[in-house]
């Protein structure tokens, strides 16, 4: 917990060591609160200048689907916010090829530019991380 609440101090103590943080998104956007919560944590983490990457797999790929309109369900459409990540210097967005294909989607269906990687490539990236946060 101290790593989150005391992030600035932590950075000073360790002389600004950069850790690799991966956020793994596996849930569709509106059925549960996971996707929105993950996005908020990602935005906050950007303040600590760490090496941040986001992975979208399983139903998590639906978070990035273009053309979301939530007015009728009275929920906040947070899909435009993924396009703000670049301004936060978060540009490592990975989508699992298998999950995308299984759902009949292509990179053109997504609101942001992403790197499409195989399950194998994603597994290797995951193994390289210092911290993996799952949503």
What mask, x for binding other proteins by CB under 8 A, covers residues 69 to 98? -------xxx-xx-xx--xx---------x
- Report yes or no: 96 and 73 within 8 Å, Cβ to Cβ: no
DSSP 8-class letter at 30: T
CB of 46 to other proteins, least distance (A): 7
Task: Report long-range pairs for 4-7 (Cβ below 8 Å, ≥24 apart).
Answer: 7/47, 7/48
Tokens of 54: 């986001």
Q: Which residues bind other proteins (CB under 8 A)?
A: 24, 26-27, 34, 40, 43-44, 46-47, 57-58, 76-78, 80-81, 83-84, 87-88, 98, 119, 122-124, 126-127, 129-132, 134-135
């Amino acid at each position: 917990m101290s790593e989150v609440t005391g992030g600035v101090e932590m950075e000073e103590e360790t002389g600004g060591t950069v850790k690799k943080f991966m956020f793994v998104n596996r849930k569709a956007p509106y059925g549960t609160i996971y996707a929105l919560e993950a996005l908020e944590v990602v935005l906050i983490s950007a303040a600590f200048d760490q090496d941040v990457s986001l992975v979208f797999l399983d139903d998590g790929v639906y978070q990035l689907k273009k053309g979301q309109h939530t007015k009728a369900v009275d929920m906040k459409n947070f899909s435009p916010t993924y396009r703000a990540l670049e301004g936060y210097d978060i540009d490592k967005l990975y989508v699992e090829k298998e999950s995308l294909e299984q759902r009949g989607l292509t990179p053109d269906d997504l609101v942001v530019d992403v790197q499409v990687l195989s399950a194998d490539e994603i597994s290797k990236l995951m193994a390289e991380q210092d911290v993996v946060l799952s949503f």
